Chain A
């Protein structure tokens, strides 16, 4: 690693985690720049984790106003209207995050992320987006992929007791410890668009039902022009119809996607704080791995469901 040594202050503050991932990883972290879009509870958890870990900078994008709903699972917002009135979600969260670690530069970028040009993304090593429509996920993922520089791209969504993370590290090289030696590894990731285009029937038999259910809901919201999470039980007939179509196109049985799971995803659209903590924790860990180049990253979907308590990795890419 070329690069300056950690300062005494950094060594003292990060002592316990340097014992986990080493001084080298800590130096890389301190030089990394992270873009985050969609400041809900899960993302608040994620931001807390990476700010504590000591990344170089975090840039927040979310121009929405603070609402009652936004408060519910987000500990970065103090519930005092005088404090948040007239400010955007990103601005309010930024102020709180700064306090967690004075060595990390936290800032806000205003505007609609969909309109940001490719060159905007070039400043970042990691891009994390949340609460996005299908179209927006594809678009931002494409922009990241157009750059010569490799950007680690993540999407994260929590609906009630369920959470999903998608990871695109493109062509990723890393090292891991196997017994006593360090071995070099390589992984090829598909883009979000390519991953979800993989025909369902070629996927391994026991892929999580949540994967399919999330795709149905995502497409439903896309077709109906809804924002992510803007659904209710009244949408069930429409969603079941879409499930039928998708299952037929993909030649898989509708029983792959139980009604009960779809119902839960449609109705429990608010975030459930324990799940935010878990998904935000896993995402934080993955981003730290991707920056430090140490340890097996997950490829390429992660699901957690509080109902059965499983935290599951699924590899959805062309066989």
Chain B
């Protein structure tokens, strides 16, 4: 296979790998075996126990160490003569700028989040370096090749928008278990153990109709005259009892909904909890403080009863205050924090019980709360092999033979690995073409800060933005700014768009630029008075950029938001379990459907496909036809 010409292209090549996780470990191994001699690896992560089932370069003794560095050492053991340069760093750091990217012949992504992928895409476009992009979820995976001007860029196709839940669904009217998880994690956990100064909607909606006699801020503070169990019970009664009663008093809300049931601790727990097993408060496998251990609950796959959940709730709260008191006020939810997962599981289940929603096991709850992406070693190995095959084509400048390849769970037309010709760049892509965007916004209400957070960072994925109106700079960030400029920019952040030193009005064209990504966008501003709070929670609507419709069916709220796939073309899949903004991500579970679009594409001859597809599952067929329209609009390279 490896011709002389190919071998020398491989030996000369300098490649950059971004990500040394599930795909990264496999990729680094396969690159080294294939004869690559100069490999650079960036990964900001450290190794965790749950990585070890597939990130085979890592061992138990490496837990806590840099992935990039350990991966390098492990590969050098079987290929000692090659050069591997590890960076234990975030790819978004400023040292990884366009000049850095220009040093490489090809960039290979094994990332786990949309944000970093967009960032690398832009740097590759700016540096004009080919990018091979990849992702996996469970048995599904994909590899794509992005070459500026030749094939579509990573952002040419819609990416599924992160799933967001309306605030009132979370605070008052949950109907699915995921709503209870979001409530327990982002509101309750944050309120009790996180930064007290953070805004938190925990009480707002449920108590604004009938204000309680207590000042709501004080409810969550432990009083001097109560012990931790009393405190826990008081919190319990307040959030699962009192708040529900208050919510019930607003009859309008429950006209078309099932009413929730208030739950008080005295109804589910004995008056005084006697500890059964005081000696073991630690999880025997990990040594972490654990309410499950102290209550002798062993199997994380069991679904606890309401009484068990209530005991876990009180016990976890007690353990936080008695064993981890120093961290209180600074904690954020972490899926690898056993006690935090226990607390969130119990709280979500008690709330679910109150609202008549089925309860879930800790294992399931952890998956939902941590946005955990399903991952197995085999898919990562296959995807890594496919990445190397494409990377070698890139090095040989074999541009007409690039393929995007899908790894499927169920064969389609006998294919388990399905190659598809790549698409041409999307001429209206706001990233790789220079199409202007337009933004509807209330220029009198929205502040510059809202615009930057929600649009420039949130939607356009910029890190170091400069906002300009004509020649005047409204905002910029950077280390070398004068202090007085920083003060002016900070002041601008709090101003409504129409009140800025050079006011933004309807018809203004703003230029937004990220110097690190060397990426510029023009945005036409249109004033609009009203926005629908439910459907347009940002109070702004950006159009002209590619974003997929939000996944409608979110009853399987698993997975890393970006890993979903609902829609096509480049529905993407991710390896990893990062990006834990639960808020509101949609499912990664049904990635299967996304693939189907390619079915019809293989081999070019469209007509035979549907008829030939006889031995496939019915499900598959359905999906194809659904996506038919969007397929036909795209042009092949």
Residue of A nearest to B391 (CB): A274
- Across the interface, do B54 and A52 meet the contact criterion of CB distance under 8 Å? yes
Chain A residues whose CB sits within 8 angstroms of the CB of B377 once the complex forms: 17, 48-49, 52-53, 281, 284
Interface residue B501 (Cβ < 8 Å from any Cβ of A) = no
> Please, how many angstroms separate the alpha-carbon atoms of A285 and B59 in the complex?
22
> Please, how many angstroms separate the alpha-carbon atoms of A49 and B376 in the complex?
9
Chain B residues whose CB sits within 8 angstroms of the CB of A5 once the complex forms: 298-299
- Across the interface, do A309 and B372 meet the contact criterion of CB distance under 8 Å? no
- Across the interface, do A312 and B378 meet the contact criterion of CB distance under 8 Å? no
- Across the interface, do B53 and A17 meet the contact criterion of CB distance under 8 Å? yes
> Please, how many angstroms separate the alpha-carbon atoms of A160 and B1 in the complex?
5
Chain B residues whose CB sits within 8 angstroms of the CB of A75 once the complex forms: 29, 32-33, 78
- Across the interface, do A19 and B372 meet the contact criterion of CB distance under 8 Å? yes
A sample of 29 cross-chain residue pairs with beta-carbon separation below 8 angstroms, ordered by A number, consists of: A8-B298, A12-B50, A13-B50, A13-B53, A17-B374, A18-B363, A19-B374, A20-B138, A20-B139, A45-B381, A52-B377, A54-B53, A79-B79, A272-B2, A273-B30, A274-B385, A276-B385, A277-B382, A278-B381, A278-B386, A282-B378, A282-B416, A285-B378, A285-B379, A298-B411, A306-B1, A306-B389, A312-B417, A313-B416
Against A, the Cβ 8 Å flags (1 = close, 0 = not) of B368-399 are: 00001111111111101110110010000000
Residue of B nearest to A77 (CB): B78
Mark A residues whose CB is within 8 Å of B: 5, 7-9, 11-21, 23, 41, 45, 48-49, 52-54, 72-73, 75-79, 99-102, 160-161, 178-179, 264, 268, 270, 272-278, 280-282, 284-285, 288, 295-296, 298, 302, 304, 306, 308-314
Residue of A nearest to B403 (CB): A309
- Across the interface, do B381 and A277 meet the contact criterion of CB distance under 8 Å? yes
Interface residue B426 (Cβ < 8 Å from any Cβ of A) = no
Chain A residues whose CB sits within 8 angstroms of the CB of B300 once the complex forms: 11
- Across the interface, do B410 and A12 meet the contact criterion of CB distance under 8 Å? no
Per the 8 Å Cβ criterion, residues 37-78 of B in contact with A are 49-50, 52-54, 56, 59-60, 77-78
Q: Tell me the smallest distance from the CB of A26 to a CB of chain B, in Å.
A: 10
> Please, how many angstroms separate the alpha-carbon atoms of A306 and B418 in the complex?
12
Number of interface residues of B (CB under 8 A): 65
13 extra A-B contacts, CB within 8 A, seeds A12-B49, A102-B60, A284-B381? A8-B284, A17-B374, A17-B376, A20-B375, A76-B78, A101-B52, A273-B33, A273-B34, A274-B388, A276-B33, A281-B382, A309-B403, A310-B417
- Across the interface, do A16 and B374 meet the contact criterion of CB distance under 8 Å? yes
- Across the interface, do A16 and B378 meet the contact criterion of CB distance under 8 Å? no
Q: Tell me the smallest distance from the CB of B365 to a CB of chain A, in Å.
A: 12
- Across the interface, do B417 and A304 meet the contact criterion of CB distance under 8 Å? yes
Contact of B385 among A179, A264, A281, A308 (CB under 8 A): A281
Chain A residues whose CB sits within 8 angstroms of the CB of B375 once the complex forms: 16-17, 19-20
> Please, how many angstroms separate the alpha-carbon atoms of A96 and B1 in the complex?
27
Residue of A nearest to B33 (CB): A273
Interface residue B482 (Cβ < 8 Å from any Cβ of A) = no
- Across the interface, do B577 and A16 meet the contact criterion of CB distance under 8 Å? yes
Residue of A nearest to B407 (CB): A311
Q: Tell me the smallest distance from the CB of B31 to a CB of chain A, in Å.
A: 9
Mark B residues whose CB is within 8 Å of A: 1-2, 26, 29-30, 32-34, 49-50, 52-54, 56, 59-60, 77-80, 138-139, 283-286, 298-301, 363, 367, 372-382, 384-386, 388-389, 392, 403, 405, 407, 409-411, 414-419, 558, 577, 617, 619
- Across the interface, do A312 and B416 meet the contact criterion of CB distance under 8 Å? yes
Contact of A52 among B53, B79, B139 (CB under 8 A): B53
> Please, how many angstroms separate the alpha-carbon atoms of A58 and B409 in the complex?
26
> Please, how many angstroms separate the alpha-carbon atoms of A19 and B367 in the complex?
8
> Please, how many angstroms separate the alpha-carbon atoms of A213 and B585 in the complex?
49
> Please, how many angstroms separate the alpha-carbon atoms of A16 and B49 in the complex?
11
> Please, how many angstroms separate the alpha-carbon atoms of A23 and B299 in the complex?
11
- Across the interface, do A280 and B381 meet the contact criterion of CB distance under 8 Å? yes
Known: A41-B33, A79-B78, A79-B80. A13 touches B52 (CB 8 A): yes
- Across the interface, do B49 and A78 meet the contact criterion of CB distance under 8 Å? no
> Please, how many angstroms separate the alpha-carbon atoms of A11 and B341 in the complex?
15
